[in-house]
Amino acid sequence: MTAKIIFASQKLGTIHPTQLQAMLNKFSLGTLLSSRKTEQGAMGQTMLVSSTNGDFILKGNPLYPGQLKEEKFFIENIEKRTDTPVPIPYIIDESEEIFGWSYALMPCLTGEHIDSELLKNTLTNENKLQIAESIVSTLSALHKWKVADFGELNTDTMESIPFKPSYTDWLFERIMFWLEDANKYSTITPEDMEWARTLLNESRESFHRLDSPTFVMGDFKPGNFLVNKEKNGWGISGVFDFTNSYFADPVLDLIKMVTYYLNHDELEIARHMLNKYFEGWTDKGFIKSRLIVHMLHQRVLDWGNGKATKTATWDDSLAFSEWAATYTELIASLVD
């Protein structure tokens, strides 16, 4: 289910202190002190709950059957396979007796989001470079989890379901599907469609050469990790929200952070992160080609969402291909 595109959200709604205390009592986690919705919560599904035993994150009202079970599977595997700080133990309560829906409860990790009010104007360029290197270390560790097939997790069998007819076809068809869908909310011209098809056709060989699928978080962005200053400098102190995780091309996990840096005019930070990640890799031409496709994929989703929700912040006179090309061309130029 993780590879599906989810735009809707089932938010927590109104939660009463008595319900939170009942939850804490169920797991012997102390007396409730306070609670609040998280600032960058996973689609309105999360709440910070503080008790005499510590701080916890409540994640509830699942978006689809198996969401919490799936996330628990990924978190527990990451904890076993890497040193990446993840919220563990990840406790699931399938009963709906307290809130009317099932939920997960996990420890609150320490640190701040890089775009938080506390950090966004205080991090130095050196701090940002340190964080970029920590991102590389974290993603590289996650991507060492290799599997036999490109696919998504079946929460009934806890095994991967291969993409059909192939990962390349699945990815390319998905990009074109969502580009066509964006025409419901904006103008997508035949030229836009042809431009996208050309990029995909030019990159097909680079994907055919990809034969080692890895775990991918699928949504690695500022809202889903925390950073902290340690004695050796700034680094990632927590990673969470694995609702979009599956097994595919590891390169795609770089895209949202590259986009973040480009949108904040931090090209050199983006360049540093990419080249650190690809240090020692061969066939840079094929790598660039895959980066372009994954950036196109993200641009299609962001365009469609921005136009559908009327939250687009870019120049409305730009055609999709003009807007997206500024990203696809730039990302390729950042890899030395």
8 Å CB contact between 48 and 60: no
Q: Give the per-residue pLDDT at 303.
A: 97
Q: Give the per-residue pLDDT at 67.
A: 92
Q: Give the per-residue pLDDT at 1.
A: 46
Phi-psi region of 314 (alpha: psi -120 to 50; beta: other; left: phi over 0): beta
Sheet containing strand 32-37, edge to edge, reads 32-37, 46-51, 54-60, 103-107, 91-93
Q: Give the per-residue pLDDT at 3.
A: 59
Q: What is the pTM of this model?
A: 0.93
CATH number of 125-333: 3.90.1200.10
Residue whose structure tokens are 């590289």: 140
Per-residue pLDDT of the chain (336 residues; tens, 9 = 90+): 455 555 555 578 889 999 999 999 999 999 999 999 887 655 578 999 999 999 999 999 888 889 999 999 999 999 999 999 999 999 999 999 999 999 999 999 999 999 999 998 899 999 999 999 999 999 999 999 999 999 999 988 888 899 999 999 999 999 999 999 999 999 999 999 999 999 999 999 999 999 899 999 999 999 999 999 998 899 999 999 998 999 999 999 999 999 999 999 999 999 999 999 999 998 899 999 999 999 999 999 999 999 999 999 999 899 999 999 999 999 999 999
Phi-psi region of 5 (alpha: psi -120 to 50; beta: other; left: phi over 0): beta
Cβ neighbours of residue 182 closer than 8 Å, sequence gap 6 or more:
188, 300, 303, 304, 307, 308, 320
Cα–Cα distance, 227 to 238 (Å, whole number): 7
Phi and psi of 12, rounded to 5°? -70, -30
- Please, what CATH class does the domain formed by 17-107 belong to? alpha beta
HSE-CB at 2 with a 13 A cutoff on CA atoms is 32
**289: closest CA among 227, 201, 167, 215?**
201
C-alpha torsion sign, points 216, 277, 240, 178: negative
For residues 96-132, one letter each, b for 16 or more C-beta atoms within 10 angstroms of the residue's C-beta and e for the rest, the string is eebbeebbbbbbbbebbbbebeebeeebeeebbbbbb
What are the extents of the domains in the chain? 17-107, 125-333
For residue 240, give both structure tokens: 């969470």
Phi and psi of 314, rounded to 5°? -90, 170
Cα–Cα distance, 59 to 45 (Å, whole number): 5
